[in-house]
Chains A and B, each alone.
Chain A
Amino acid sequence: MMATSKKILEQEPSEVEMLLPWHATGTLNARDARRVDEALARDPALAKQYAAIQEEYAETIHLNESLGAPSARAMQKLFVAIDGEPARKPSVSFDISARIAGFFAKLSPRTLAWSASLGALLLLLQAGVIGAVLMTKQNASFQTASLSPSAPSPNAPITRTLGPEAPPLRALVRFAPDARVADIMALLDNYQASIIDGAKGGLFRLQFANRAMGRDEFAGLMRKLQNEKIVSLAVDAQ
């Protein structure tokens, strides 16, 4: 009757005794679970040890849950790193990644549908934004090279410029999964931004029409963007 628990005193655990933690978490196969159940029913010392295990089980969960969750910094770092990864060529060895992709697809059909329709709309939107920018700027600083007093050489090619050239201001943005297309379009309109690439890893690359912003001003814009309800991540992508 007490054969199992006698082993405890001898410091040599029995097979059933060693399986108790997995019985508590429900990860034993049916055969082992039955063996443990039978042993618990006939051995009170083993049952007492099992009660101690259930306490350990509960407190381990409690302890781990109290550790909280990582900050958004980890996610930003990851997706910026992924965005910087070279494009991968499809190959036979990526059969498994295709399987993983299929697995994700099964999990998030709504997100995929959303991305596809957003992509189509964004192409239209981008064309609209570019058109609007051209129309607005034509009245401002259009000059031909032939009229420019600072033209370096009469042999220089004739060019048209939309004012002083500054590098484009860009950001990587992930929208909240429940963001509606209309909200995204309104946001892009508000920020005078267009999407120039996406959605790698769920991230879209935005380009802002206003190139004249200083670093501080742009950092402020990033903070404002990050605080938007429909934006889950916004990082500078200069």
Chain B
Amino acid sequence: MQVLYGRHHVRVFRFGFRLVRDEQVAEDLISEVFLDVWRQAGKFEGRSAVSTWLLAITRFKALSALRRRKDVELDDEAANAIEDTSDDPEVAAQKKDTSKALRKCLTALSPEHREIVDLVYYHEKSVEEVAEIVSIPENTVKTRLFYARKKLAELLKAAGVERGWP
């Protein structure tokens, strides 16, 4: 368990943190996830990578935590924050920095879009693995990421960054 924890806890934490947006809750998630792994090792069928299995459990736990906190409105606040600060000179300067703007917009995506972007770009999961983690068909995985990227482009545009797509 120590080796498993050592190898995966940071990625589990970051995936959970991006979903629940609360460091303490994300830390609690880690304990819950690995305790579940300890208890349910027998259910792991070995057909997928251990990391895929862990991320699926983390996602389930994170969504349960979010439901408990009824915290969904935070996402609207985050999205609004981008437009609200558009007149701030400091933010205006940031607009020129595509990287910073991109990171800010990645944070402002909906939980559904955030998780798919993270799973593909950060956790480097294949279409099949994302489908398994999120429990959706593979075609939905592809279209969901496409529309997440489209939303990201819209947020960037609103923040003054044009990338020529879409």
Task: State whether A52 and B163 are in contact (beta carbons under 8 Å apart), knowing that A74-B27, A104-B4 are contacts in the complex.
Answer: yes
Chain B residues touching A, range: 35 or more
Contact A64 B102 (CB under 8 A): no
Complex interface: chain B residues within 8 A of A75 (CB): 5, 9
- Per-residue CB contact flags for chain A residues 12-44 toward chain B (1 = under 8 Å, else 0) read 010101110110111110000000000000000
A-B contact list, 7 entries, CB within 8 Å = A25-B121, A27-B124, A49-B166, A52-B164, A59-B106, A70-B9, A70-B27
Q: Is A87 an interface residue (CB 8 A)?
A: no
In the assembled complex, the Cα of A105 lies from the Cα of B5 at a distance in Å of 14
Complex interface: chain A residues within 8 A of B102 (CB): 55-56, 59
Task: State whether A48 and B9 are in contact (beta carbons under 8 Å apart), knowing that A53-B149, A60-B122, A104-B4 are contacts in the complex.
Answer: no
Q: Is A69 an interface residue (CB 8 A)?
A: yes
Q: Is B133 an interface residue (CB 8 A)?
A: no
Q: Is A142 an interface residue (CB 8 A)?
A: no
Q: Is A127 an interface residue (CB 8 A)?
A: no
- Per-residue CB contact flags for chain B residues 118-146 toward chain A (1 = under 8 Å, else 0) read 10111011110000000000000011011
A interface with B by C-beta (< 8 Å): 8, 11, 13, 15, 17-19, 21-22, 24-28, 48-49, 52-53, 55-57, 59-64, 66-67, 69-71, 73-75, 77-79, 81-82, 85, 91, 93-97, 99-100, 103-104, 107-108, 111, 174, 201-202
Complex interface: chain A residues within 8 A of B10 (CB): 69-70
Contact A13 B143 (CB under 8 A): yes
Secondary structure of the B contact surface, majority rule: helix
Interchain pairs with CB closer than 8 A, number = 145
Contact A60 B117 (CB under 8 A): yes
> What residue in chain B is nearest A106 (Cβ atoms)?
B3
B interface with A by C-beta (< 8 Å): 1-5, 9-10, 13-14, 17-18, 26-28, 30-31, 34-35, 38-39, 41-46, 50, 98-99, 102-103, 106-107, 117-118, 120-122, 124-127, 142-143, 145-146, 149, 152-153, 163-166
Contact A59 B99 (CB under 8 A): yes
Complex interface: chain A residues within 8 A of B145 (CB): 18, 21
Contact A94 B5 (CB under 8 A): no
Shortest beta-carbon distance from B38 to chain A in Å = 5
In the assembled complex, the Cα of A214 lies from the Cα of B146 at a distance in Å of 61
User: Which of A8, A61, A67, A69 makes the CB contact (< 8 A) with B165?
Assistant: A8
Contact B146 A17 (CB under 8 A): yes
In the assembled complex, the Cα of A49 lies from the Cα of B76 at a distance in Å of 27
Contact B31 A74 (CB under 8 A): yes
Shortest beta-carbon distance from B100 to chain A in Å = 9
